[in-house]
Amino acid sequence: MLYQITDGTVSAGGHVILSHVDFEIKGNEKIALVGRNGAGKTTLLRLIAGELSLDRDDKRQGLGVTCSRQLTVGMLRQQAFSDREQTVEEILLAACPFRDTFARERFEYEQEYDRIFTGFGFARADKHKKIGDFSGGEQTKIALIRLLLEKPDILLLDEPTNHLDIATIQWLEQYLKRYEHAVVLVSHDRFFLDQVAEAVVEVSDGKLTRYAGNYSEYRAEKRKRIERQRKAWERQKEEEDRLNGVIERFRHKPTKASFARAKKKQLERMERVEKSVEDDVHLFTGDIEPLIPGSKWVFEAAHLKIGYDRALLEITLRIRRGQKIGILGANGAGKSTFLKTVAGLLQPFQEKDKSVERRCVLGNNITIGYFDQHSAEIQSEKSVAEHFHDLFPSMTEKEVRNILGMYLFPGKLASRRVSDLSGGEKARLVLAELLQSRPNFLVLDEPTNHMDVQAKETLESAFQAYKGTILFVSHDRYFIRQVARSVLIFEENGPMYYPFGYEHYLEKKQKAEEYGEELSAQVKAEDAALLEGMRAVPKAERHRLREFSTEEAYADWKLRLVYEKLEPEELEYGRLEAEYQGLLDDWKMSEAYWMPDGAARTSADTGADVEPAEMPVVEAAGLTEDMIPGLPENVAAAKAQRDEAWKRWHEQCMAWFEVYEEVHGEPVPNA
């Protein structure tokens, strides 16, 4: 155990922040602290850093804080450097423990310093600038670089991704995963936590609860624990009601009084299960269907140029019904401008050159729901419930309250004035209105800005349940991963399209960069649009496809990428099938399989007219293996695992069939 807090309490200003908590750091593990603002996450970091001490507690055994050895602890602080005239190089080299300029260790330190400095997006020439020449955000990045170079035994990071662009955050993720010491971090970037954390500690109501795994695994496990506790509480309540009924029935009968007293003692001795605190996140279990499905092709653009006083980019794209596309790209690349053009709020950029045919067309019966940050600038003296009811007058008040509750406006919150809501709450209300109006095409620009984690996860669930088409821009990588099924990347050499999810894109991109190759599944958006409509393109026109010259090449490419997911499921199913069949064969050769009792029971159950000992269970009754009664536990467990693996394999097979039909325009032959 590297570091441990046992039965620790921390108070400030007469208020208990952490109450009798236990916390531990093992080896070089990476721990994420999560919880609402003000729950005590930063307090715990400061306690580990030695800036705070535990309250005195006469009941506590031992010191409260123990370490396996003398530890160095480094914490990132949001503060400017005291000497603004120092250069970055002077600051970073001052942290070097090796004073000999020609020592090998000094050489290795300077190499590491160069690698980290450029990894954070600085140019090498920036090393010679004075610290005062950098912005506050850049100074925080330099402070983090210095901290990483010090390599403390416990690295404490409070919102380390603030002021970092996505490329730098990705670099930091990889660095921290390889960091040889322990890391404890707080961040609202859930994707960052998913990439780095090996354990999650939730801080809530002054208590700490530890979960194994990254952020997504923590969320899944927490939901399971809440559900288990809810069921345990319901069973306890039923037992209490039963015992109270028995006590009330017999307490006044002289011959049963002692029995009633015994039941009362049993009730008092029952181990109490606390009622579960429901998760703040609402998960949508049903589908959110558009009012009208709309045409197959939702949006088509050919050589569309977008911009204001100048063209930012040219794009050819086709969006099919049901697609959920996330747009990635640097600031200023034209993402928001493109969304405004798609939604009809901005006219395509006009050029005098008429030699190229340019199109920007919505499909038939397409209804758009558009959202950007200005959409949330609503002001009203009405309550949230009144405002929502005015938009949907056919609803009853109960229906309005139920729907608002699903979007985290329960009870009193639904009675608040709209004007009193925060920016994030207003945005959530507008998005709830959009989803309730059920258009078939959502165009969203940064829909979750200024929202807390609970609101984001609720909306992620809603957008996953939504069966229409979504085109959106977001800087929240976790949101992109949860919602997008394909990504459109605005790059310097034009828009590029990747037909699978964000995480799949990152994984493939990282592998491609490691081997110095181009991302094989990424195609120009124009080519992707042509490929989508390949069957409608005359053969004479197909020379326009630059990266994929034939329909067969495209089909092979897309099917191969789907097969990458299918193959491991197929192998796992094969392994579990062989394991199950082996156990089943062993059982068939055992004495238990041929027992007369088993045969007699099988015969009686099925009505087969045979003598009990004449033949084995399966042959006697004419049963399939699925119908065998009394299957041994180990065989039944193996069969259950086999069946689950088959389901997963079958799902991937169906996905392959869907892609086949999509690229070929016909069912799989002999399927």
Residue pLDDT, tens place only, 413-466: 999 999 999 999 999 999 999 999 999 999 999 999 888 899 999 999 999 999
Instruction: Identify any residues that bridge with 288 across adjacent strands, giving them in sequence order.
Output: 466
The tokens describing 518, both together, are 């181009």
Pairing of strands 469-473, 441-445: parallel
- pLDDT at 184 exceeding the cut of 90: yes
Domain segments of the chain as ranges: 3-219, 220-269, 297-381+417-545, 561-664
Give tens-digit pLDDT for 290-300: 999 999 999 99
- pLDDT at residue 534, rounded to an integer: 46
pLDDT digits (tens, 9 = 90+) for 482-514: 999 999 998 887 888 888 789 888 888 877 777
Under a CB-based contact definition with an 8 Å cutoff, are residues 313 and 495 in contact? yes
Burial class of residue 548 in the structure, from the number of CB atoms within 10 Å of its CB (0-12 exposed, 13-18 middle, 19+ buried): buried
* CATH of span 297-381+417-545: 3.40.50.300
pLDDT tens digits, residue range 512-570? 777 666 665 565 665 566 555 544 444 444 333 333 334 555 566 667 777 777 778 88
pLDDT at 658 over 90: no
Q: What percentage of the chain has pLDDT greater than the value 90? A: 40
Side-by-side strand order, sheet with 15-25:
15-25, 3-12, 65-67
Characterize the bridge pairing of strands 3-12 and 15-25.
Answer: antiparallel
Integer distance in angstroms from the first to the last C-alpha of the chain?
57
Residues whose CB falls within 8 Å of the CB of residue 471, separated by 6 or more in sequence, listed in order: 299, 319, 325, 327, 339, 342, 441, 442, 443, 444
- Coil/strand/helix, residue 319: strand
Pairing of strands 3-12, 65-67: antiparallel
Residues written for the chain? 671
For residue 282, the Cα-to-chain-centroid distance in whole angstroms is 15
Q: Do domains 3-219 and 297-381+417-545 have the same CATH topology?
A: yes
**Letter string b/e over residues 283-313, b meaning 16 or more CB atoms within 10 A of that residue's CB:** ebeeeeebeeebeebbbbbbebbbbeeeebb
When pLDDT is averaged across residues 28-32 and rounded to a whole number, the result is: 96
Average pLDDT over residues 632-637: 84
Identify the CATH number of the domain defined by range 3-219. 3.40.50.300
- The pLDDT tens digits for 361-391 are 999 999 999 999 899 899 999 999 999 999 9
pLDDT in tens, 54-85: 988 767 777 789 998 899 999 987 555 777 78
Among candidate residues 344, 35, 335, 356, the one with its CA nearest the CA of residue 215: 35
The lowest-confidence range among 22-31, 280-289, 540-549, 572-581 is 540-549
